[in-house]
Amino acid sequence: MRSYAGQRAALAIVQLAVLSILVFVLTALLPGDAADMRFTETLTPEQIAQLRAQLGLDQPALERFTHWFGNVLTGDLGTSLISGGPVRDIVKASVGATLVLTLATLAVVVPLAVALGILMGARENGRLDRTITSVTLALSAIPDFVIAVVLVALFSLKLGWLPATWVGGSLLANPVLLVLPVAVLLGRTVCLLSRQVRAGTINALHADYVVQARRLGVPRRRLLLRHVLPNAAVPGVQELARTGDTLLGGVLVVEAIFAIPGFATALVDGVETRDVPVVQGLTLVLAVAALLINLGADLVCNRLVPRTELLR
């Protein structure tokens, strides 16, 4: 177990290094640099050239990268080329909203998906199974921006029950802000997750040990919760890790519609303004989170169903 975690950590460092190089190269391949992005027809080409020198963008790419990388090793994510402030502040400012949104979504989607998955699996191909499948599939088939626009039009603009955006709002003062974004993200995530739980449930229900347990007369409720669920949850947990990744990366469409100052918005802003240190910093944080989540998911699966091959 410990050597497994060690291996994963070593692999993670290599992955992060490769990712950093990749992000740097890809950003460098985009047309223009952070100085060019200020060219909004208010700054003259001479002013831009001066700015470029000030930002150090006239230095060779390799030099800029090694400088950045050296700083990261000391725990310093660098300075934004656009705001001039520390990248750490930009990460901090954008991660909060996304984190809250992710946790709130998971808090709703996990119990819901597990309940639906077991219900469907236990009544494989029954009417209930088909109904839930149709509804969740339909929800995931509708693009999230359509769901969002419809929900906003109905609950905010028409009925006036819920706030339409996060504009000028604060989560602490007004937690209701979460309702619509979470509803949209729910539609997007509940289907896949419940399908995985359903598949796991069906597999488990058909497994020899369950058949045997049934023969032995284990009560149905206990059978489902005690014997089926842990096994059925394995694909679900892995899917959950993927869902967590996606949500943490921020969901651009949802952030744009509800004006949520989250991770995806910060990342897109960073790319659009060629703010390389910000893009690098955000992707790095995101990658670390993704690695941790996946590691966590693997460990949880191992806990649920100890299988040595999983850890090999």
Contacting residues toward another protein, per CB under 8 A: 30-32, 36-48, 50-51, 54, 80, 82-83, 85, 90, 93, 143, 145-146, 149-150, 152-153, 156-157, 160, 163-165, 167-169, 252-253, 256-259, 261, 265-266, 268-270, 272-275, 278
Measured between alpha carbons, how far is residue 156 from residues 139, 151, 176 in Å?
20, 7, 12
Nearer to another protein (CB atom), residue 259 or residue 300: 259
- Smallest separation (angstroms) from another protein to the CB of 20: 21
Q: How far apart are CA 180 and CA 162, in angstroms?
A: 8
Nearer to another protein (CB atom), residue 158 or residue 215: 158
Q: How far apart are CA 113 and CA 98, in angstroms?
A: 21
Nearer to another protein (CB atom), residue 100 or residue 119: 100
Say if CB 75 and CB 269 are below 8 A apart: no
- Smallest separation (angstroms) from another protein to the CB of 46: 8
Nearer to another protein (CB atom), residue 76 or residue 269: 269
- Smallest separation (angstroms) from another protein to the CB of 271: 9
- Smallest separation (angstroms) from another protein to the CB of 42: 5
Closest CA to 278 of 80, 86, 69: 80
Say if CB 15 and CB 287 are below 8 A apart: yes
Nearer to another protein (CB atom), residue 144 or residue 239: 144
Say if CB 192 and CB 239 are below 8 A apart: yes
Q: How far apart are CA 175 and CA 123, in angstroms?
A: 37
- Smallest separation (angstroms) from another protein to the CB of 301: 35
